Chain A
Amino acid sequence: MNSIMYDTYTIFWRELKRYKKSRSGVLIRLIQPAIWIIVVGNIFSETQPLIQSVGFEGEYIEFMAPGVIILTAIFTSIFGGVNTLWDRRYGFMNKALTSPISRSAIALGKMASISLIAALQASLIIGIALAIGVTFPNPLMIIPIMGIVILFSLGFSGISVSLAATAKSQETFWGMINLLGMPLFMLSPALFPLELLPNWLAVIAKLNPVTYTVLLVRELMTGVSEGGVPIWISIVVLFAFVITMVAITSYVFTREVNKPF
């Protein structure tokens, strides 16, 4: 167990070193969520009466800010696994596989680093949100929100790392990512309240772990609980999601990297 922690940290350290040296990417990856919060936040500002009908008092942009924080987390973590493909192509993976470190630790180290990077990106988006006038009734809530973003991204990055380990080409990987990323974001209350979704969509949304994470962050940020989901259920769902993803990813990754590339 001790050695798994050490190995995970080794990979985590390597991934963060690489991230630090490619800083130009940080800003590029901020553009998309910034556009969402600034453009979509203003385009839909007239929908305030709709938002108010489900008991939310503030501006639309304040309603959707938690959604954009999670959007940042979703996309940072779902793209994050792509370097697994490069590692396999350029030999780092073989180097790691022929050293005594455990296979699961490679996957876990990657997931941990992606989740930290996602949290960093999300915190920059929170900064943008504050700059354009979104207010936090209780600024201390940023701490648990970051905790939730880290946990959620840890689970979500598992999807990316598993897909990258399974896909043998960039094309397959990006195809799968596009197939998954946007629908998971849209099928959640990130942009609109659950109550306003048609029934059949609401049912699908309730199967989506993104939904519970958005509800949690929104409740912490604005103090409004929404969708009739108690906060403890959201927390349980989030933890269950993370644990499941860690287990699935360790298994899939170990199985896939033992096959020839």
Chain B
Amino acid sequence: MPEGIELLYSIETKSLTKSFGDLVAVNDVSFSVKKGEIFGFLGPNGAGKSTTMMIFTTLLKPTSGKALIAGFDVMKDAKHVRENIGFVQQETTVDEYLTGRENLLLQSKLNHIPKNEINKRIDEVLDLIELSDKQHQAVVTYSGGMRKRLDIAGGLLHHPKVLFLDEPTVGLDIQTRRKIWQYIKKIHTEFDMTIFLTTHYMEEADNLCDRIGIIDGGKIQVIDSPENMKNALGNEIISLVVENNSNHDLFLAELKKIEFIKKINEENLKLILFTSNGTEVIPKIFQISSDLGIKIVTLSLTQPTLDDVFISYTGHEIRDDKSKFNRKIEHAKMKRLRA
């Protein structure tokens, strides 16, 4: 890559594919992440998130296709990719018996930070993650959240162009999780890096990400901003339960005529209306129901969450296992695990 030319994209992939035997973990994936973006990668377990991240961080070679990180090809130029990325893994990887500062010193050396810079950089990141006062204690005395912060700090020392965070808040309590989000935002503004994160938590993606990609079955289902995704479903959801009435079908027909209602899901006497202007729709519903003599038992107005978006794209909620047991795939997995 020639010097001085501004890169538009920090991550670019073209038809990226990775298969393990018969199992296609990543299937013809093409997308780009803009420079300076926080991009969230969402999907159920086994969807291909981790495999994709392992390819981006040069831990796995793709079967076919191309991936450029900070302008460098992960296949042909792995060394330059490694110089330009920070990788914070899902499990905490700090050495428990070393102190916080020793861990960062090790990380600095692994990343070839010039000797005269090392102390300055360590002080800088310790300050950022607010661990300066605990830096000389062995990590074994740290709480889970502190370890995670130290791990994240380790990924920042060499000022990478792209920071990869693999499920950064998994296993942490709510307060700690929010704290980590604050740190991630702070890092993003102070270091002006591109951040690529995978997560299970819709709230996390909603809170942090400029754009989200939903992956399922090794394929990207949709990429958009969290706002647009939610708006695509209409921006409000009205759920109501009515009493049984002979005019029920007529009631439904009348509801469908209301212009703001995009979609109606019906489960027995519970109706779910996807709408774009709920506050104006509700009085109309009352009007129609009283005209037809239908009694409304409950009614609520909610905003769609990313969970609703996720389910509408993947057809299932985030969960641990694929529904069908496939002997061949399981066998292939076991083979990989065996020594």
- A residues engaging B (CB < 8 A)? 3, 6-7, 10, 13-14, 17-18, 21-22, 90-92, 94-101, 166-169, 171-172, 258, 260
Determine whether the beta carbon of A99 is less than 8 Å from that of B82.
Answer: yes
> Given the interface contacts A94-B59, A260-B60, does A99 sit within 8 Å of B98 by beta carbon?
no
Total A-B residue pairs with C-beta atoms closer than 8 Å?
77
Q: Does B17 contact A (CB under 8 A)?
A: no
* Contact partners of A13 in chain B: CB under 8 A: 106, 109
Cα distance A13–B118 in the bound complex, in angstroms: 16
A–B complex contacts, Cβ < 8 Å, 30 sampled: A3-B112, A10-B106, A10-B109, A10-B110, A13-B106, A13-B109, A14-B106, A17-B98, A18-B97, A18-B98, A21-B97, A90-B91, A91-B92, A91-B93, A94-B59, A95-B87, A95-B89, A95-B93, A96-B110, A97-B58, A97-B59, A98-B57, A98-B85, A100-B82, A100-B110, A100-B112, A101-B112, A167-B339, A169-B339, A260-B54
Please name 7 further chain A to chain B contacts, defined as beta carbons within 8 Å, in addition to the given A18-B95, A91-B93, sorted by A numbering: A17-B97, A21-B98, A94-B89, A98-B87, A100-B83, A168-B339, A172-B339
Cα distance A169–B85 in the bound complex, in angstroms: 30
Q: Which of A3, A21, A169 has the most CB of B within 10 A?
A: A21
**Which of A3, A98, A171 is the one whose CB lies under 8 Å from B59?**
A98
A204 to chain B, nearest CB (A): 28
Determine whether the beta carbon of B338 is less than 8 Å from that of A17.
Answer: no
A163 to chain B, nearest CB (A): 10
* Contact partners of A14 in chain B: CB under 8 A: 95, 98, 106
* Contact partners of B124 in chain A: CB under 8 A: none
Determine whether the beta carbon of A22 is less than 8 Å from that of B97.
Answer: yes
* Contact partners of A100 in chain B: CB under 8 A: 79, 82-83, 110-112
Determine whether the beta carbon of A101 is less than 8 Å from that of B54.
Answer: no
Cα distance A13–B336 in the bound complex, in angstroms: 33
List 6 tightest A-B contacts by C-beta distance, closest first.
A91-B93, A21-B97, A99-B110, A172-B339, A10-B109, A168-B339
Q: Does B123 contact A (CB under 8 A)?
A: no
B21 to chain A, nearest CB (A): 12
* Contact partners of B95 in chain A: CB under 8 A: 14, 17-18, 92
Q: Does B337 contact A (CB under 8 A)?
A: yes
* Contact partners of A10 in chain B: CB under 8 A: 106, 109-110
**Which of A3, A22, A98, A169 is the one whose CB lies under 8 Å from B82?**
A98
* Contact partners of B102 in chain A: CB under 8 A: 17
* Contact partners of B79 in chain A: CB under 8 A: 100
Residue in chain B with minimal CB distance to A105? B110
Determine whether the beta carbon of A90 is less than 8 Å from that of B59.
Answer: no
* Contact partners of A18 in chain B: CB under 8 A: 95, 97-98
Contacts of B138-162 to chain A: CB distance below 8 A:
138, 154
